[in-house]
Amino acid sequence: MTCPFCALEGPRRRVHRHLIDGHADVVATEVNPALGQMFYVIACPNCGGEIRHQVKPRWTDPGFVREFGEEIRMVAFDLLLYHVEDAHSGDHQ
Ligand SMILES: [Zn+2]
Ligand SMILES: [Zn+2]
């Protein structure tokens, strides 16, 4: 498959790793202090749709998020790749 954000091609697992290492800046986090909830958000580069998922409650601690930011990105990019495969499956690999 091809990286949604650049021209890199490779097996899904490599693209996933590449996203975490190379495109970490596209993952945004949103906090709803009133509800004590945190979400991560990625805008799909193909359709502009938002991939949004609630972070586990214990991750609302900022220190925890810094420490486990990579895990959050791993999950977020996994969801993005599922979305790209479902909605924009131009190439299958
Ligand atoms: Zn890329
Ligand atoms: Zn999309």
Evaluate whether 2 touches 56 at the Cβ level (below 8 Å). Answer: no
Distance, in Å, from the CA atom of 78 to the CA atom of 1, rounded to the nearest integer, reads 13
Burial pattern 32-54, b for ≥16 Cβ within 10 A else e, equals eeeeeebebebebbeeeeebeee
Evaluate whether 77 touches 20 at the Cβ level (below 8 Å). Answer: yes
Residue 65: pLDDT over 70: no
Taking the centre of ligand 2 as the mean of its atom positions, its distance from the CA of residue 48, in whole angstroms, is: 6
Taking the centre of ligand 2 as the mean of its atom positions, its distance from the CA of residue 5, in whole angstroms, is: 12
Taking the centre of ligand 2 as the mean of its atom positions, its distance from the CA of residue 50, in whole angstroms, is: 8
Higher pLDDT, 90 or 54: 54
What's the pTM? 0.82
What is the domain partition of the chain in residue ranges?
12-87
Taking the centre of ligand 2 as the mean of its atom positions, its distance from the CA of residue 66, in whole angstroms, is: 28
Residue 56: pLDDT over 60: yes
Residue 81: pLDDT over 50: yes
